[in-house]
Amino acid sequence: MSLRSPLGRVLGTGSAKDGTGSWWAERVTSVALIPLTLWFFFSLLLLPSLDYLTVKAWLSVPMSSFLAVLSIAVLTYHSYLGTTVVIEDYVHATGLKILSLLTLRFLYVLCGGASIFAILHVAFGS
């Protein structure tokens, strides 16, 4: 048994040296998302029509599919970082918190993976 006080144990150990990682990643992805999401949004908005053939033709152009994959990847990561913070802020019970964070992570990988696979499927033809 240690006789040191709880305060004594944490003093002088220095910084944890991490923890800013996800904060910084959220900022970096947000900068990347300014051009990426604007491109995605305005590309769809300015398409002459949203019918099957038009959208498919647009997404099959290599530059479109490339930028769409990048957009989805960065969007997924940015959104994952954001909603993780929301859960960490509002869900306090440890078990429920771990469960929701795990579920969230799986859902993001599922959605991001499905989106990217769908874009590649359109790009390379079926």
Do the beta carbons of residue 87 and residue 107 sit within 8 Å? no
Residues 83, 87, 90, 95: what is their CA dihedral angle, to the nearest 10 degrees?
A: 170
Which one among 25, 32, 59, 101 touches other proteins, defined by CB under 8 A? 59
Burial state string for 86-111 with b = 16 or more CB within 10 A and e = fewer than 16: eeeeeeeeeeeeeebeeebeeebeee
Shortest CB 111 distance to other proteins, Å:
4
Shortest CB 108 distance to other proteins, Å:
8
Distance CA 40, CA 27 (A): 20
Q: Binding string, 3-42, against other proteins, x = CB under 8 A?
A: ------------------------x--xx--x--xx--x-
Shortest CB 23 distance to other proteins, Å:
9
Tokens standing for residue 54: 């038009």
Shortest CB 62 distance to other proteins, Å:
16
Which one among 20, 22, 50, 105 touches other proteins, defined by CB under 8 A? 50
19: left (phi over 0), alpha (psi -120 to 50) or beta: left
The residues that touch other proteins, with contacts defined as CB under 8 A, are 27, 30-31, 34, 37-38, 41, 45, 48-50, 52, 55-56, 59, 72, 75-76, 79, 82-83, 86, 111-112, 114-115, 117-119, 121-122, 126
